[in-house]
């Protein structure tokens, strides 16, 4: 099926990310040597260090833990948004080296939720429009010499923002906190909000002490959107609590 939905996997992350951050914090506030830095650092100490960092607003130690995600089933529109988070590393499927219609009758694409909500007729209309764009893409490939790197790079200009892309994204914990603060918010665009909540669930499972208070700004305090607030802070907090309860129930 050409229609796709956002899907996120946690591929790799810093081993013992909470301990790594605690070690960095301990170094800042202790005269211990590097060799002795780990002495006496048990789980309770790790949690205390992380909580202390939050209370101090000391964020730099969180940069020592990184997390790598595989993201697929998302649109090029999302790509334009997520790459605005500049303290991150991105590797993205190329529309130049990979033909959009490779091995398929059409390219994969994302249908916006608002269009799906209009019903089957609206979805069918959208699908027909995607099919038309696929015809344009194929025509230009042919006119430019067939499906190859040279033709793909210019034929892709007729592809829509809805066209699917895949990417691998790496962020450190500090950048992820900022990402969740902005993108788990109800005012974030629906697709990147979906991806952000999936990412939050994945990191909560492996580093709950780091990300337990993460989410939209209203999760840990007052909404920062001012007059643009969605007015549903309680709903957002409830969703975050339900997510933590879901993860705890697996243990």
Catalytic entry in 183, 237, 239, 241? 183
Stated as kind and residue range, the H or E segment containing 90 is: strand 89-92
Give the chain's largest Cα–Cα span.
69
Tokens of 40: 């006496």
Q: Within 10 Å of residue 51's Cβ, how many Cβ atoms? A: 13
Q: Tell me which residue of 26, 60, 59, 57 sits closest to 40, measured CA to CA.
A: 26
Q: Tell me which residue of 130, 110, 159 sits closest to 5, measured CA to CA.
A: 110
183 catalytic per annotation: yes
Q: Tell me which residue of 56, 149, 147, 62 sits closest to 97, measured CA to CA.
A: 149
Active site residues per annotation: 183
């Amino acid at each position: 099926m050409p229609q796709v939905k956002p899907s996120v996997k946690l591929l790799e992350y810093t081993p013992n990310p909470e301990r790594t951050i605690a070690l960095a914090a301990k170094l800042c506030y202790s005269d211990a040597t590097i060799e002795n830095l780990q002495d006496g650092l048990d789980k309770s100490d790790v949690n205390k260090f992380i909580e202390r960092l939050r209370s101090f607003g000391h964020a730099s130690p969180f940069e020592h833990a990184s997390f790598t995600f595989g993201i697929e089933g998302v649109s090029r529109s999302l790509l334009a948004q997520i790459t605005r988070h500049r303290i991150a590393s991105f590797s993205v499927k190329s529309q130049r080296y990979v033909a959009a219609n490779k091995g398929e009758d059409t390219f994969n694409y994302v249908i916006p939720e608002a269009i799906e909500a209009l019903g089957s007729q609206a979805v069918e209309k959208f699908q027909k429009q995607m099919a038309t764009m696929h015809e344009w893409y194929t025509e230009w490939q042919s006119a430019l010499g067939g499906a190859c790197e040279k033709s793909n790079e210019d034929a892709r200009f007729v592809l829509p923002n809805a066209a699917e892309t895949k990417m691998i994204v790496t962020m450190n914990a500090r950048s992820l906190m900022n990402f969740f603060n902005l993108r788990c918010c109800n005012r974030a665009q629906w697709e990147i909000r979906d991806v952000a909540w999936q990412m939050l669930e994945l990191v909560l499972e492996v580093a709950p002490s780091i990300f337990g208070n993460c989410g939209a700004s209203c999760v840990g305090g007052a909404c920062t959107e001012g007059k643009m607030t969605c007015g549903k802070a309680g709903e957002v907090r409830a969703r975050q609590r339900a997510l933590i309860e879901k993860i705890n129930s697996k243990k």
